[in-house]
Every structure is written in structure tokens, then in C-alpha cells.
Amino acid sequence: MQPLTGAIQNYAWGSTTAIPQILGVEPDGQPQAELWLGAHPAAPSQVDGRPLPELITEDPAILGSASVDQFGPRLSYLMKILAADQALSLQAHPSRAQAEEGFAREDAAGIARDAKNRNYVDDWPKPEALCALGDFEALYGFADPEVTNRLAAALALPMLDQLFAPLTAVGGAEGIKQVFVACCELPDEQRVVVDDLVQAAFPHIGDENELGTFCRTAIELAAVYPRDPGVLAALLMNRVRLREHEAIFLPAGNMHAYLRGTGVEIMANSNNVLRGGLTPKHVDVAELSRLVDFTPITPPKVAAVEGPPGVWRYDTPAPEFALWRLELANELAVPGSDRGRIVLVTSGSARCGDLHLSAGQSGWLAAGEEATLTGEGRVFVGGSGVPAVN
């Protein structure tokens, strides 16, 4: 195993302390939102001082033959530590077919690939999974529209009632879509409804019930994004709390927004994000609503399946990535020897041969390279989701 060095991303929503605490360094006062580990061209990791994409170009076999056969000579996944101190944008990601079509369409239209109004920055999908390192909160998919309408009606705001009326008058996914689009496209002169909503919500902020959660979501988001219509759109969604080591999977078309917390994230190696609100970045509601699945759901959690003692795999349908968690108490073999892997220590320390990794440090293991870790700590392993066929 070779030492791998990632790249910090300083986004405004990031925590100033969480990633430095994992890394065991003093905070520098800047929000450190993500630590990227992988071969994405925007921030490639270094392996022994060399860019990982350079090593892959020289010898694609380090990825594993099954991965190269399916995805070509590129790392199919991107691994991150994500640390949110405030809400990310309301967002969704395209499927592979949608990404390929959208990317080609915007290229044909002459939209520069680094333009701020670009929706598709590459032609890959971006399914993702996140495993919480502590309490983590997110918005995930759309809630039962009947329940949403009942909670909104409890606040007795005529403008909100009118805006949310299609939830029951139309119902189902189509009713949710109509309300979502109307919220995101709310004219400036009507956005005072967000202020009215916050005022009506305050008396319920301490309620330990559905209405209390509904109201806290509105108040918390409006405090960071005042009069942003995304605050209204967010009320259509499920609020999810993850405990330590619980995980969620976000497929193509899933509307979501992380609210707060720290976790290990793994995704297809793409940066395609279409946003609907809660952001100063480009928002294209029409294109976003074309991709999103508005079907109401109960958010599922990803089961952690223990294989060998001390090794848990988080199974998802995504072929681009796989994620394992290792609870290292003495000695464990690193899984996935048929593919190139990133090994990340999040607590304690681990040793592999002469390489010692403390918390926040990571290593690269090429396909075909078997490795055993010794020490005590928590380790995450990312790899391609496509296993070799024997």
C-alpha cells in the first residue's frame, strides 16, 4: 500500500472544526467541507507525490480488469470525508443516460464546460452513499403529500395553503412536482411568505412531533437562506437522522440536501449536480424537474452486512463503487483485492507493512495487491462496485 494524500475543499457550508479534528491538526478558521480522495480531475489525490490519474494512465491494470472492462481506464469512484455545518443546496443527480444526453446537448449548444450556467459538467452519473461518523441529518426524497399538506395547514397561512393545494387536489408525484416547481420559481414579491412561515413556526420549535420537525426545518433553513424559496420546497421532503455508522444511498433522481454532520461519502466519479434552491449557484428548475423522481417514499437506510468478523459492507445497487467499514482491533485483511482501493483511517491508527496511517490519513492499494492491517481504529475502504468474475 502506498500513501495517498487528498485535497481539502473549502465550501461555505463546511465545518471549521470537524475535518481538522479527524486529521489531528489545528483549524485554520476556514470552513473545510470535504476531503476528496480519488482521481477526479478537479482535485486529484497524490500517491507518493504523483497524481493518481497519472498512475492509472501508465498502468490501468491497477484498477482491476472488471472495472476497466466496464468503465474504461479511469477510477470509477470518488471517496470523501464530508463535514456540513449548515445545509447544502437542494439537489439531485442524473442517471448515466441523462448525463450523457445532457452533456452532449450542452456541448452542442456551445456552453463552455466551465460556465457557471452549465448543468452537466461531465457525462457520468453521480449515485452516492454516505455513512455517518456521528449524528447526521439530511433531507431525503419526498414525504407523503397528505401529511405535508396537513402540517402546513396547521400554521394557518393562506398563501402557503394556496401554494401547497395541489398536494391534495392533484395528489401523488404529480401534485408534489407542481408544488415543488411553484415553490422554486416563486416570484420575488411573494417570497415574504418565507418570513410569515418562520414567524408562524416559532411557537412550535420545541415540539417533539411531526409539526415540530417541520417547523424546525423551516426556521433553520431560513436563518441561513432568508427568503429563499428553497425553504418552502424543502418542506415537501423527508427529514432523516442517521446515527453513527448508519448509511443512506442516493440514486439518480433522488432530491436531497445534507443539513449537518460528518460522514464518509462515496460516489461515482462525477461532479454533476443540478440544484433547486438554498444556494447562490446556478439553479435550473426546469431541467432539474425533468430528472427528479417525485414519488413519495419512506427513506431507506443501507444495511451494513458483516462478512469476516470486524468487516462490514454497505451494499448498494451502484456498480461504480463499493464501501466497507473495518473495526480494527488487532489484524484484518483489506477486502476487495480484485480492484483498486482507497483505505481511509477515521479514528485510531493502522499499519500495513512499513506504512503507518493515523486518523485522517489514507492509502492506495492496487488491484491484485493483498494487504493486512494491524492496529486499533476505524477504517473505511472504497473500491469499484464491480467484482471480478471467476
pLDDT for the residue numbered 389: 55
Residue 122: name the closest of 269, 275, 319, 256 by CA. Answer: 269
Helix axes 210-224, 145-153, angle to 10 degrees: 80
Residue 380: name the closest of 330, 324, 328 by CA. Answer: 324
Which element (helix H / strand E) includes 152? helix 145-153
- Bridge pairing between strands 46-47 and 237-242: unpaired
Q: 316 with 252: CB under 8 angstroms? A: no
Give the SS3 label for residue 157.
Answer: coil
Residue 283: name the closest of 33, 90, 42, 14 by CA. Answer: 90
Residue 86: name the closest of 11, 20, 29 by CA. Answer: 11
pLDDT block averages, 10 residues each, the chain of length 390: 96 96 93 97 94 97 96 97 96 97 97 94 96 98 98 96 97 97 94 95 93 96 96 98 98 97 98 94 94 96 94 96 96 96 97 95 97 97 82
Q: Which amino acid is at 259?
A: L
Give the SS3 label for residue 373.
Answer: strand
Active site residue 275: yes
Task: Name residue, grid cell 477510477.
Answer: 75
Task: Report, in this order, helix, strand and coil percent for the chain, each rounded to 5.
Answer: 30, 30, 40
Residue of 118, 239, 260, 275 marked active site: 275
Which element (helix H / strand E) includes 376? strand 372-383
DSSP string, 315-351: --S-TT-EEEEEEESSEEEPS-TTS-EEEEEEEEEEE
Residue 81: name the closest of 177, 170, 161, 15 by CA. Answer: 15
Q: What is the pLDDT of residues 181-212, one digit of tens each?
A: 999 999 999 999 999 999 999 999 999 999 99
Q: 47 with 4: CB under 8 angstroms? A: yes
E strands in 100-194? 128-132, 136-142
pLDDT for the residue numbered 386: 86
pLDDT for the residue numbered 29: 93
Task: Name residue, grid cell 491497477.
Answer: 62
pLDDT for the residue numbered 387: 78
For 195, other C-beta atoms within 10 Å of its C-beta total: 12
Mean pLDDT taken over the chain: 96
Cβ partners under 8 Å of residue 84, min gap 6:
13, 14, 15, 33, 258, 259, 260, 261, 262
Which conformational region is residue 294 in: left (phi greater than 0), alpha (psi within -120 to 50 degrees), or beta?
alpha
In our burial notation (b when 16+ CB lie closer than 10 A, e otherwise), range 360-377 reads: bbbbbbbbeeebebebeb
Phi and psi torsions of 130, nearest 5°: -135, 130
Q: What angle do CA 118, 119, 123 make, to 5 degrees?
A: 105
Supply the DSSP symbol for 238. E
Strand partners, 362: 4, 344
Cβ partners under 8 Å of residue 146, min gap 6:
167, 168, 171
pLDDT for the residue numbered 38: 98
List alpha helices for 49-125, DSSP H: 52-58, 65-71, 96-108
Q: What is the pLDDT of residues 245-282, one digit of tens each?
A: 999 999 999 999 999 999 999 999 999 999 999 999 99
